Amino acid sequence: MDSGRYKIRKKLRIFFILLLVLPIILNLDNLKVLVCFTVDLARQVFFGQKLFVIGVMSARENFEERQSIRNTWMKLVSPNAGEVKFLIGSHSCNVPKNDRVSPYSCHRWSPQLPSSVNSNTILSLTEQTSSRHRICVGFTFMVRHTMSLEMLGISSSLRRVRKERMYRVELHDSQRGEKVVSATFIISGSDSPSGFTWKKVPKIVFNEGFEGEIKIISDDDYTNLNCTHKFLTNGIVTIFEVVDTKGFFYKFEPPNCPIASFLYQIMDVDKLQNHINETSVRQILWDEEVGRIENSLKEEKNKYSDLLIIDTIDVYTNLPIKLSNFMQWATTGDKFKYIIKTDDDVFLDIKKIQLQFSRLSDWDWWSCFKVGWPPPNSGKWRDRLTDESVYPKFPSGSGYVLKNSIAKKVLNKPPMNVGEDVSMGFWILEQSPLDLIESQCFWACSSKCNKNPCNMPELKVDEMYTVWKDYNKCGEICNCSP
């Protein structure tokens, strides 16, 4: 009992000595700053709560990126004030990179070379008709191997229930948002034995990686139609979403009934055949690489205590899962007052960020916020499933801060099919968080060097060391005089 009282008295003496001496040393002449500083100091002395934790998104194989941070700005983090944790997925994707549908996911691409490379389609007739399947007037897709577009078509099932009516089939470039080609069909009542009515269009070559959308333009309500087709999955074309008769996008999952399509010719057949033939060799080499990554991670984990291993496959589409788990870990037990998120290609000015924490102000989150951003139709951040025309306000993924109190309110939110920064915008929306307006530094939304930045994103490993060298010269991330 006496021992416990002695420890408390000792902590009190240390606390009050620091309370008297530090304001003089630090020249804290602002009363609000002193009050805030005192509260934070009390948290650390009596409750063991650190001021902040920094979660750094990092891929399993990014060993050099993590080491560059340890050798640079991470040295500015006092162990008594904060911690840094690199957020690592527990498993590598077991699919070789060249065998994935997308470099951002872990779905296997398994192309099949058809018996004929001419007049291929992604549809086939079903054995029986059905009225229970969702009618889709279009779909989004990505070309996985070079092909040439030959024809556009519409389902002949329209002829069985429609008389004179006009339909226009359009194919759009999702990245540019431009129409590439179209064809007009007038239904007259006759049928087609192939199940589709086709029209030739100017030959267009689509290279690997092209993202597009095909859809029917008509005033038809598409009632009383039966499903007579299904999607083929030969791997040449990957389907992302289907578009229903009301214009809503849905994730592609069989069964769906497409009534628009195209015919194509496979090009560079030898290249595709070689890819198929070398599948097993790529898998062996990739398994060896995954093993090397795993062994190196074990060594890194034994050497450092800054890895936070999260139970998920470490690919881009799982970043919201990594973020959610980090927030859960960081808020458990009130270990930290502020939670910072950044990436392993970002330099942080810890001194300026920590100085802001010494200011007494009422705010919930702090970042370079992005407002009015529409969901992208293609690319790394493609999103056709969000109904809103623009995203809610969301922080820049290269750097933002949440107070512990607001971070607790976004726990247990379901994973989303968007980037982790946009996910945070959705998760926190209903909390109506207060922004930090007047700050000691400003978070970057791009790699452009602005005045008084909190961070510098999109750095290569050698650039991280260059920024560190300049920072030690002039105390600034950028804008150092030559």
DSSP per-residue letters across 254-315? S-EEE-EEEEEEE--HHHHHHHHHTHHHHHHHHHHHHHHHHHHHHHHHHH-S-EEEEEEE-S
Domain ranges of the chain: 49-91+298-474, 120-266
Token pair 């992302």 is at which residue?
Answer: 240
**pTM, two decimal places:** 0.86
pLDDT band of 120, cuts 50, 70, 90? confident
What is the average per-residue pLDDT within 153-180?
84
The per-residue pLDDT for range 221-244, each reduced to its tens digit, is 777 776 666 666 678 888 899 998
**Residue 61 pLDDT > 50:** yes
What is the average per-residue pLDDT within 195-208?
90
Instruction: Tell me how long the chain is.
Output: 482
pLDDT band of 206, cuts 50, 70, 90? very high
Residue 402's beta-bridge partner residues? Answer: 339, 365
pLDDT band of 364, cuts 50, 70, 90? very high
Report the share of the chain in percent with pLDDT over 90.
59
pLDDT band of 31, cuts 50, 70, 90? very low
Q: State whether residue 57 is helix, strand or coil.
A: strand
**Which CATH class name applies to 49-91+298-474?**
alpha beta
What is the Cα Rg of the chain in Å?
Answer: 29
- Which CATH architecture best describes the domain 120-266? Sandwich (2.60)
